[in-house]
Amino acid sequence: MDNIFIGIIISIISGLLSAFFTFGILYLYFQKSFKLKAEKLIDEYILIFKERLKEGFHEAGKELLPEFKEEVKRGFKEALQEVIGPSLIDETAKKIAKTSTNILQNSINLLTGRWEEDK
């Protein structure tokens, strides 16, 4: 009776050890195998994501570029209008007209022989 009981216990213990050993080997194998497959799959998805993101940026840039150019033009025009106000343009035009008139008057005076002192 003791021999049968000891045999049953040894059988149960050896079965459990065998099962745990098999489970451990399979666990390590699947963990490595799954990890490599998962990393490859993740790398593929990352590449796809990068490519789609890049395409999206290019498309958005193509759509927004004309509007951006127009906004920059408008900004430069506003900045120039603020720096060069109407009064500055008027003053410059008056100076050009006065200088041109003086040059023309002096030329006529030289041709006619009259000379006036600059005022």
pLDDT attached to residue 20: 94
**Closest to 26 (Cα-Cα) out of 18, 16, 38:** 18
Burial 80-100 (b: 16+ CB within 10 A, else e): eeeeeeeeeeeeeeeeeeeee
- In the block, which residue shows the tokens 């030329």? 107
Q: What is the pTM of this model?
A: 0.38
pLDDT in tens, 17-59: 999 999 999 999 888 888 888 889 999 999 999 999 888 888 8
pLDDT in tens, 57-89: 888 888 888 888 888 899 888 887 777 767 777
